[in-house]
Structure 1
Amino acid sequence: MEDLDLFKEICETHAPSGREDWLYSIIEDNFNQFGDITISKLNNMYIHKEGKTSRKLMIMSHADEIFLMVKEITKEGFIKFKGLGIDAKSLVAQEVIIHGKENVSGVVALKYDYSDKQKSKVSMENLYIETGFCTEKLRSLIKVGDYITLDRKMVGLLNDNVSCKSIDNRASIFAMYVCAEELKNVNPDLNVYFVCSCQEEVGHRGAKMASYEVKPDIGIALDVTFDGGTLGDSDRENKLGAGPVICIGPNIHTKIKNRIIQTADKYSIPYQIEVEPGNTGTDAWDIQTAEGGIPTLLISIPIKYMHTSVEVVNLKDIKNTGRLLARFIQELKEDELEGLFCF
């Protein structure tokens, strides 16, 4: 894939919830060719591509990644931590970065009690981080509350698959880049706002703020979903390499969903369908109910091993997600919006 180096860079960059700004210089350097860029007070980034009318379409991908935080530095020189959204079993023997006065490398270890196997079950309480520093040195570099992120370089796998940390949700940011590149020489009817939202992993906070700030006529959330193919980690039928996943359910506007499916069929872009009768657990949930109601879509990219350091994604799925969005935007006209919005 073209620009794979950019995808690698944004995945390997550390940007936990609340510190999305650590990623934004890279995004700004690469997205500034597509439109005007602003950053909100709480770390939403907006890239505005001007359209021919006053109507607005917002595409949102959250920029934050899962993380840990320093809870205690023990007298023995180990780091105890808290986490959110991470299965403790996936942390054993992983490399991490502690973001203190300096970035400090560490490894996660399990405190094993050979006399009591019950006490040796993998849990956050039984895990600690070893850095190699003595207590005094460690406390001069790190304090309680410092962020900890997984440390992993991207690995190329067979069949156009890659593995890395933070593919949730940097794959969606890269899909926005593909979309913006496809639209570079297109003057769409609608103003397009590409949004890198903050703090999705801790409550979709950026989605709420962006929806009220942009006030879009249509909102599209981009995120990842669970692959259900061979060795998948759920019973869903979302397979790597089979295209973007279009969600159907109460969170999704029916006519606009039908329209993007028609676009995919017209341009022979592969896609999959995911049925979600309840909360999608994504920014789409918050976009839909903002500003008196915003017609909303959710497009997902299937991945394996979500919320681990070895998430796996298919590069063709990312490219096809960007292509589908670009064709949808290119063909959308202002004079058909009211008809689309009416049930």
Structure 2
Amino acid sequence: MEASSYEFLKQLLHTPSPSGYERPIQDVVRKYVASFADTVRTDAHGNVIACKNPEAKVRVMFAGHCDQIGMLVTHFHDSGFIYAQTIGGWDPQQLIGQRMVIWASGGPIPAVISRKPIHLLTDEERKQVVKLDDLWLDIGAKTKQEAQELVRIGDPVTLQLGLVEMRNGLANSPAMDNKTGLWTVIEALRRASLQSLQVGVYAVSTVAEEIGLRGAQTSAFGVDPHIGIAVDVTHATDCPTIDKRQQGDIALGNGPVIFRGPNMNPVVTERLIATAKEKLIPFQMSASGRAVPNDANALQLNRAGVATGLVSLPNRYMHSAVEMVALEDLDRAADLLAAFVVGLNGDEDFTP
């Protein structure tokens, strides 16, 4: 991974982007793509759409959602504690004892989220799964008035952000889902832009995936692609307790994952596989027998239908503070997407 691309990834992972509050990360994307995209625009929904070769008759759209799961402030306790509801699919157990940040208009405010200590739990409470209603944010305020001078109802909240490198080329951070996918589609556009292109390539930083694939739906309508490839994370199964019989055998560091199934166009899928083999890009296979819960779902159903593919990045501990990926998997995924579009002449038939 080139140094400038790695810095871009770190910047993404240090920037807050809970669904509905994606403006800061979209500013980062716009600044980065300006040096190599022919056009960059932001639609009314907030999707950032960067394009290379916009005059081409065949349009290929890469979709990587920029939003992360988070929270938003809903209530102030008289003693200055703050309550919040979730944005996206949280396991409340993951939130106990976490360092958080409230992104207020006056700047970020550090917070912790917790509940009463285990010593004070009753025997019955110790047996119960924690509920979100039992957790609160603590910013150190002494009164409701003090908290309200800093924070407003509706302010977004995230886990404390930041990339931590680990052994064997691995790294952990909140929001690997899906800032890694966002990085991949932007980097694929950059790498493709350095070569000859016969098709128009649109890399879209989509919003609001975590609350219903909303940005992919609206941006795909605007781009009207003939071919669409979504890039998101998928569950790595190379850790204890996960049943590989249903989830597949997916390991960090073994390459991006190409999906097969009814949500994916078989011609696109086979071309992705052939491209990976031709370019000697390591890859893994997985399958889904249903509509996938990511942007590939919205892409496939756009207008009269889009020939859709899904390339995923293995991720351990999804929707937690310690999501873990192999950086080499991201690099290989960007190479795969770039090689895929460079290999198109615009006359291909993707009819199943």
TM-score under structure 2 normalisation? 0.93
Amino acid at match of 1:300: S
Cα distance between partner residues in 1 of 2:337 and 2:161: 30
1:55 equivalenced with 2:30 (yes/no): no
Q: Which residue of 2 aligns with 1:116?
A: 122
The answer on whether the counterparts of 1:52 and 1:188 sit within 8 Å (CA) in structure 2 is no
- What secondary structure, in the 3-state scheme, does the structure 1 residue paired with 2:210 have? coil
| Equivalent residue letter for 1:109 | S
Q: Deviations over 1:8-57 (max 9, x none)?
A: 11011001111211112211121112211100111110001016731100
Query: Contact conserved, 1:71 with 1:82, CA < 8 A, in 2?
Result: yes
The alignment status of 1:92 with 2:127, answered yes or no, reads no
Aligned-partner Cα distance in 2 for 1:238–1:115: 39
Is the Cα contact below 8 Å between 1:198 and 1:207 reproduced in 2? yes
Deviation at 1:274, TM superposition (A): 0.7
Change over 3 Å in CA distance of 1:178–1:100 after alignment to 2: closer
- The 1-side partners of 2:60 and 2:206 are apart by 15
Most deviating of 37-46 and 100-109: 100-109
Deviations 1:73-92 (A, max 9, x none): 10111111111311111111
Moved more, 223-232 or 186-195: 223-232
1:204–1:282 Cα contact (<8 Å) kept? yes
Retained in 2: the 8 A contact 1:99–1:146?
A: yes
Deviations 1:205-244 (A, max 9, x none): 0111011100000011110000001347563311100100
The residue aligned with 2:23 is 21
1:280 equivalent in structure 2: 292
Q: Find the residue that maps to 1:137 and give its secondary structure.
A: helix
2:69 to 58, 66, 70: 66
Residue type of the alignment partner of 1:74:
H
Question: Which blocks of at least 5 consecutive residues in structure 2 are unaligned?
Answer: none
Alpha-carbon distance between aligned partners in 2 of 1:309 and 1:193, rounded to the nearest angstrom:
31
Partner of 2:42: 39
Equivalent of residue 215 in structure 1, options 208, 215, 224: 224
Residue 160 of structure 1 is matched in structure 2 by 169
Q: Is 1:292 aligned to residue 304 of structure 2?
A: yes
Give the TM-score normalised by structure 1: 0.95
Contact map agreement 1:226 1:238 (CA 8 A) in 2: yes
Cα gap change, 1:174 to 1:232, in 2 (>3 Å): farther
- Given the alignment of the two structures, is residue 327 of structure 1 paired with residue 339 of structure 2, yes or no? yes
| Partner in structure 2 of residue 141 of structure 1 | 150
Percent pairwise identity? 28
1:149-196 Cα shifts (integer Å, max 9, x gaps):
111321110111001111111101211233123223223111000000
Structure 1 position 224 matched with structure 2 position 233:
yes
Alpha-carbon RMSD across the aligned residues, in angstroms, is 1.6
From 114, 128, 134, give the equivalent of 1:126: 134
Conservation of the 8 A alpha-carbon contact between 2:21 and 2:156 = no
Partner of 2:112: 107
- In 2 relative to 1, CA 150–233 (structure 1 residues): closer, same or farther, beyond 3 Å? farther
8 Å CA contact 2:259–2:309 kept in 1: the answer is: yes
Aligned-partner residue type, residue 117 of structure 1:
D
- For structure 1, the 5+ residue unaligned runs are none
CA contact (8 A) 2:252 2:315 kept: yes
